A and B are shown apart, each in its own frame.
Chain A
Amino acid sequence: MNQIIHKFTRNVPHWQPRVEPVKLDEATPEQLHALQVTPSNTKVSEYVLTLAHDVESLTVRTPLFNAIMYDPGGMSRPERELGALGASLVNRCIYCAAVHADRHAKLKKDTTITDRLFANGEKAELSPRDRAIFDFSRKSAEAPSTAGPEDMDALREAGLSDDEILDLILSSALFGWANRLMHVLGDPVRQKGTS
């Protein structure tokens, strides 16, 4: 019996779908193409197999996701992860929060910031720059968004350039999208026999 995780953690859980994923041996050529299944690569996550039900969306979303999170220039990688994390905390996507807190900690080689965010949420002690980034991300993720001119002023006062602010808007908004897939379509679980 898999145990559903309800608390935020950096220990990335397994994602268990609430709907039946596409079965690889029944996948259409279009789905196989989107899944990038080749004879040498037949390992596809259940999450991606679930999204393959809507293959047109999956096909365009994967490169868009990668561009927002990884393209060079603009905001640093750990700060984009902080943007992703802010949204994931608001939407209580335990799985997304774990993955992106873990990436943040690995990029920074330091768990302090994500430890504080998991322990104290929006009251966590952060540097002025991280504070401005995190506050914008979480307020933008509220539904409806509560981010306002004062949050934009705080980003500029913390020294963010236009390019960095745009990347923050994109990474937080992207997780408004990702959270509504992962948190809605599946459960974060600890599989029996694993830590």
Chain B
Amino acid sequence: MNLTETTIISKAGLPPGGNVAEAAKRRENIIQMSQDAEDAVLRPKDFGAFGHDLRAALAARVAQLAADDTLAAHYLSSAGDKSELADPNETGKAYQLESVVAFVDKVANRTREIEAGDVVHLQAAGVSDPDIVRLCELVAFIAYQVRVIAGLRLMQGSAG
């Protein structure tokens, strides 16, 4: 993928040829590997209990929780009939995903408060250990991506 088409560069809205875009170009391998990570986390071959549409909806939700409407819109477009879950006010009850949604919200925005009991609760709700790892990778990757994009926007805002 062309560097300017990656999610990080396109959603950060960097003008081509500017100082920030040039710095990003010098770390092109990292931006490209971050795009590979998006593919692996959002659209894996072995998706376990979480299909691609559900992953997109939860990614949009985490982006919303981080107050990034642009990134949320990027993921929402792939959420299909799971798109309601992207709304942070939606509990997941209608989808029988209340435990999953509560866990996603806590890992995303109250990371430091996570305890062993949160994992036990998910296991008790019938989520397998591999699926718990998959869910953590999904939330954790979006937490990374949203901060790289926010940082680049701040850099661009202060570029001389």
Hey, which bits of chain A sit against chain B, CB under 8 A? 18-20, 50-51, 53-57, 59-61, 63-64, 67-68, 71, 73-74, 90-93, 140-141, 143-145, 147-149, 151-153, 156, 162-163, 165-170, 172-174, 176-181, 183-185, 187
Contacts and interface: CB of A to CB of B under 8 A. Distances in A.
A165 B48 CA distance: 37
B158 A187 contact: no
Given A55-B46, A64-B30, A176-B140, A149 B154 contact: yes
B30 A92 contact: no
A112 B134 CA distance: 38
B51 interface: no
Interface in B120-157: 120, 123, 129-130, 132-134, 136-137, 139-141, 143-148, 150-152, 154-155, 157
B11 to A, nearest CB: 14
Contact of B134 (A54, A61, A148, A167): A54
Contact of A166 (B27, B67, B109, B132): B27
B147 A19 contact: no
Given A61-B37, A173-B151, A183-B111, A67 B29 contact: yes
A162 B143 CA distance: 22
B20 interface: yes
B155 A67 contact: no
Interface of B: 19-20, 22-24, 26-27, 29-30, 33-34, 36-37, 39-41, 44-46, 48, 65-67, 107-112, 114, 116, 118-120, 123, 129-130, 132-134, 136-137, 139-141, 143-148, 150-152, 154-155, 157-159
Interchain residue pairs A-B with the least CB separation, the first 3: A169-B151, A180-B140, A173-B147
Given A54-B137, A60-B37, A92-B112, A153 B158 contact: yes
B111 A18 contact: no
Contacts of B152: 166, 169
A143 B109 contact: yes
Given A19-B129, A64-B34, A56 B46 contact: yes
Nearest to B132: A19
Nearest to A87: B147
A2 to B, nearest CB: 12
